[in-house]
Amino acid sequence: MRWQPDELRRTFDEAVWGSRLGALPRRRARAVRLVRLALVLARDLAGGQLTLRAMSLVYTTLLSLVPLLALSFSVLKAFGVYNQLQPMLLTFLDPLGEKGIEITHRVIQFIENMNVGVLGSVGLALLLYTAVSLVQKIEESFNFIWHVSRSRGIGERFTRYLSALLVGPILIFSAIGITAAVTSVSVVQDLLTLGPVEWLAVQAGKYMPYVLVIGAFSFIYVFIPNTRVRLGPALVGGLVGGILWQTAGWGFALFAATSTKYAAIYSSLAILVLFMLWLYLSWLILLFGAAVAFYVQHPEYLVAEAGEPRLSNRMRERLALVAMSLIARRHLEGGPPWTAEALAQTLRMPMRAIDIVLGALQAAGILARTAAEPPGYLPVRELDQVGVKQLLDAVRTASEDRFLSAGHLPVPEPVEQLIARLDQASEAALRDLTVRDLAGALPEQPGAAVRPGPRAITGA
């Protein structure tokens, strides 16, 4: 039997995307999830967004590299450990071979010639802005990967970024110094002479670069995005990104050693070209690991079609009813407020869809966000004072004022009468139903009264 390409594709799509994972056996569900993850990651790379943002980060890095290192150099110089900056740069540029040594020497020379005292207040402010702009661009790229539309405030950005830029180098080199001090102790040196301990030390030294890079990537995946990233997905992304980065460094070193054609074509610019290529590859791997962490934490985005999943009108109304039912029930039980992330995980819906529905209910004055981080959602009024019809109308008419409202559409008289009949029918069917009815009856415990929930928030 000959299989046609279209038939093979339909069979493959049905096997990968046609089944619900919850209905499959555990082993098969894991295999299907891995295949979906690989296909979605390949689609993201082919789509060009990750590569485009990696190129943007290369440009920003070239502008921010010297100010960023100068800022770290000033902090390290105050603590007397600035000599460790050059070995750190050499380690990062090691795949470039001898050209990496030359680039490190040039960069260190630029930093040493930079006199912060001569810059003045305006120059110092521009120096800080240039250094912070790189981290800001990284956050924007990570927020895009994590489907986060809200950015941090300017104040929070500067405090968060400057703390990382100023305190981060101190912690890194303090850890290096403590490790060196511990290994120089005579007791530790005597232990290292033992056979098993020496073998473990050799193996640890062999795999320690991988461990450090994986830890650094995992920390970035937790620290940078403007959302709560769980440690497990961050470690998975850090594992994939760290192994890829170390392996890519080995392969790029071979490429740089044999790239004599670049020197013949670009002459003295060959060093800059190789440096930009290595920066691009490093940023692409970092973003790829962030995408892995995102899909591990949000498997609901492992879908066949690219882009943000869009809800139909029926699904949007149904999602609003289900979400409000959960929020109302938790409110009556006196439990902690539901967060958007918790609702997305419980309902297995995309985070963007949850944000759209909750934003519509908040704009209509039905829900209010708490000041916690991440924010929770609570009813604004008593549950029996909010009708189900009002809830559905809030979702149906969301964002009409920003684009087109119903009044801008010329409607013939028969259509107007039909719309009025539909509204009257829904009003009659839902007249006696409130949000309190969506929560359902609370289970009664023998010998104990139902605990009242927290008081509703007054005001929108």
Considering the domain architecture, whether residues 88 and 123 belong to the same structural domain is answered as: yes
| pLDDT tens-digit series, residues 178-201 | 444 444 445 445 555 555 655 565
Q: Are residues 297 and 320 in the same domain?
A: no
Range of the domain at 280: 48-301
Helices 85-92 and 98-113 meet at what angle, rounded to 10? Answer: 140
Let me know whether 277 and 318 are in one domain: no
Q: Is the C-alpha dihedral spanning 118, 124, 128, 130 positive or negative?
A: negative
Q: Does 344 lie in the same domain as 296?
A: no
Residues 274 and 324 in one domain: no
Other CB atoms within 10 A of residue 330 CB: 19
Tens of pLDDT, residues 8-66: 777 777 777 777 776 778 888 888 888 888 988 898 888 888 899 999 888 888 877 76
Q: What are phi and psi of 387, to 5 degrees?
A: -80, 155
Shared domain for 297 and 403, answered yes or no, is: no
37 part of a folded domain? no
Q: How far is CA 303 from the centre of its chain?
A: 18
Q: Whose CA is closest to 311, among 341, 356, 344?
A: 356
In a domain, 61, yes or no: yes
**Pick from 175, 288, 183: which is nearest to 239 by CA?**
288
pLDDT score of 174: 52
Residue 290 lies in a domain: yes
pLDDT of residue 323: 92
The number of CA neighbours under 13 Å toward the Cβ of 354 is 26
Which pTM was predicted? 0.71
Q: Is residue 406 part of a domain?
A: yes
Report yes or no on 412 lying in a domain: yes
**Confidence (pLDDT) at 135:** 78
The pair of structure tokens assigned to 408 is 């801008």
Distance CA 354, CA 358 (A): 6
Residue 338's pLDDT is what?
A: 93
Evaluate whether residue 216 is within a structural domain. yes
Give the Cα separation of 415 and 428 in Å (integer): 20
Residues 187 and 56 in one domain: yes
Measure the CA–CA gap between 213 and 286, rounded to whole angstroms: 11
C-alpha span between 402 and 386 (Å, rounded): 25
> Is 460 contained in some domain?
no
Find out whether 70 and 127 touch, Cβ atoms under 8 Å.
yes
Question: Long-range contact list for 361-370, CB < 8 A, 24+ apart?
Answer: 361/320, 361/323, 361/324, 361/391, 361/394, 361/395, 363/394, 363/398, 364/390, 364/393, 364/394, 364/398, 365/460, 366/324, 366/390, 366/391, 366/394, 366/435, 367/324, 367/327, 368/457, 368/459, 368/460, 370/337
Q: Tokens 């008419």 map to which residue?
A: 397
R_g (Cα) of the chain, nearest Å: 29
Q: What is the pLDDT of residue 327?
A: 93
Same domain, 193 and 80: yes
Give the pLDDT of residue 294.
93
Q: Are residues 219 and 293 in the same domain?
A: yes
Judgement on whether residues 172 and 294 belong to the same structural domain of the protein: yes
The per-residue pLDDT for range 148-171, each reduced to its tens digit, is 877 776 666 666 666 666 655 555
395 and 316 Cβ atoms separated by less than 8 Å = yes
Looking at the 3D structure of the chain, how many domains does it have? 2
CATH of the domain at 348: 1.10.10.10
Q: Quick one: pLDDT at residue 433? A: 87
| DSSP output for 316-356 | HHHHHHHHHHHHHHHHHHT-PPEEHHHHHHHHT--HHHHHH
User: Would 375 be classed as within a structural domain?
Assistant: yes
Widest Cα–Cα separation across the chain: 95
My answer on whether 282 and 376 are in the same domain is no
d(CA 40, CA 299): 11
Of the residues 301, 324, 359, which one is the last residue of a structural domain? 301
Same domain flag for 335 and 422:
yes
Domain boundary among 272, 301, 330: 301
Question: Which residues in the chain show pLDDT less than 70?
Answer: 1-6, 22, 66, 68-86, 88, 110-124, 127-128, 131, 153-207, 259-269, 306-309, 401-405, 407, 441-460
